[in-house]
Amino acid sequence: LQIEQGLRRARLGQELMLHWQPIVDMARQRVIGAEALMRWQHPELGAISPDRFIPVAEDIGLIEDFGRWALDQACRLGVRWLASGRPLERLAVNISARQLQRPGFVDLVAEALKRHGLPPACLELEITESTLQSVDSGRVILGELRRLGVKLAIDDFGTGFSSLSLLKHFPLDRLKIDKSFVRDLEREGHDLAIVRAIVALASTLGLELTAEGVETQAQREVLLKLGVSDAQGWLYSRALPEADLLSLRESLA
């Protein structure tokens, strides 16, 4: 309840902030984009994890406002990034089932892109397998988003159910390999076999890949050997405030 009341009071851009986790091309050691991750600094309780407050925001209907704001911020940052002359592959934003379901979501995305002048292909929407399954007209909505030119990624791939039929039935661009499969990649075992299978699947279906939760050089090397080039993780950086993201981009380059 304290979380719920706090969230209703919290202001976007003040207590609630977006941080950006760099997405890195591991072969070239270049920052090619970032994922928006929401952060909440509660005045009394301190930092509260999104794992705790996002589900509450979904339950009480605040996630739509939060999500609209995150999309807007991503478009704004994307334009700023491009204006600096550095190539940008994508800024990724997490989308909840409730947002996707809401009538007018596609228009809202289109409007944000247009208002800021961001090329649609620079925006990637991350959706989990369970979201895809729970949204009735998910396939139609994703089709419209795809026609708009934005990119679509499955988040936490491999942790949900019926991944394979989802891949066949939905228009998708990318799989984000869940960090639970990256953790023990250095050791010859199940995780290695699973990531190998995901790589084969993606290649067959023409999907791009990003590895999540890359923490060590050894994981990086295995992933590169398997053919996974893009990654996020603490080996490179945690999620950063915008200014720090933009300067890390310069220093990794």
Check residue 210 for interaction with ligand G (CB under 6 A): no
In this structure, the number of other CB atoms found within 10 A of the CB of residue 253 comes to 10
Check residue 22 for interaction with ligand G (CB under 6 A): no
Q: In this structure, what are the phi and psi dihedrals at residue 130, rounded to the nearest 5 degrees?
A: -70, -35
Of 150, 144, 155, which is closest to residue 113 (Cα–Cα)? 150
Closest distance to Na ion from the beta carbon of 212 (Å): 5
If the CB atoms of residues 126 and 230 are measured against Mn ion, the closer one turns out to be 126
Please identify which residue in 16, 26, 75, 94 interacts with Mn ion, judged by CB under 5 A: 94
Give the range of 35-43, 198-206, 220-228, 244-252 binding ligand G by CB under 6 A.
Answer: 35-43
Check residue 126 for interaction with Mn ion (CB under 5 A): yes
If the CB atoms of residues 4 and 180 are measured against Mn ion, the closer one turns out to be 180
The entry of ligand G, Mn ion, Na ion, none near residue 181 (CB within 5 to 8 angstroms by kind) is: none
Check residue 37 for interaction with ligand G (CB under 6 A): yes
> 23 Cβ partners below 8 Å, 6+ apart?
31, 32, 33, 34, 35, 89, 90, 92, 210, 230, 231, 232
Please identify which residue in 50, 120, 158, 160 interacts with ligand G, judged by CB under 6 A: 50
Check residue 78 for interaction with ligand G (CB under 6 A): no
Check residue 155 for interaction with ligand G (CB under 6 A): yes
Q: Which two tokens stand for residue 78?
A: 């994307």
> 85 Cβ partners below 8 Å, 6+ apart?
none
Check residue 156 for interaction with Na ion (CB under 5 A): yes
If the CB atoms of residues 6 and 166 are measured against Mn ion, the closer one turns out to be 166
# chain residues binding ligand G, by CB under 6 A: 27
> What residues from 16 to 75 belong to the interface with Mn ion (CB under 5 A)?
none
Give the range of 23-31, 48-56, 83-91, 115-123 binding ligand G by CB under 6 A.
Answer: 48-56
DSSP string, 92-142: EEE--HHHHHSTTHHHHHHHHHHHHT--GGGEEEEEEHHHHHH-TTHHHHH
Our measurement of the distance from residue 69's CA atom to the centroid of its chain's CA atoms, rounded to an integer in Å, reads 15
> Which residue do the tokens 């953790």 mark?
183
**With b meaning 16 or more CB within 10 Å and e meaning fewer, what string describes 3-23?**
beebbeebebeebbbbbbbbb
DSSP 11: P
Check residue 124 for interaction with Na ion (CB under 5 A): no
If the CB atoms of residues 126 and 129 are measured against Mn ion, the closer one turns out to be 126
Residues near Mn ion (CB under 5 A) are 94, 126, 155
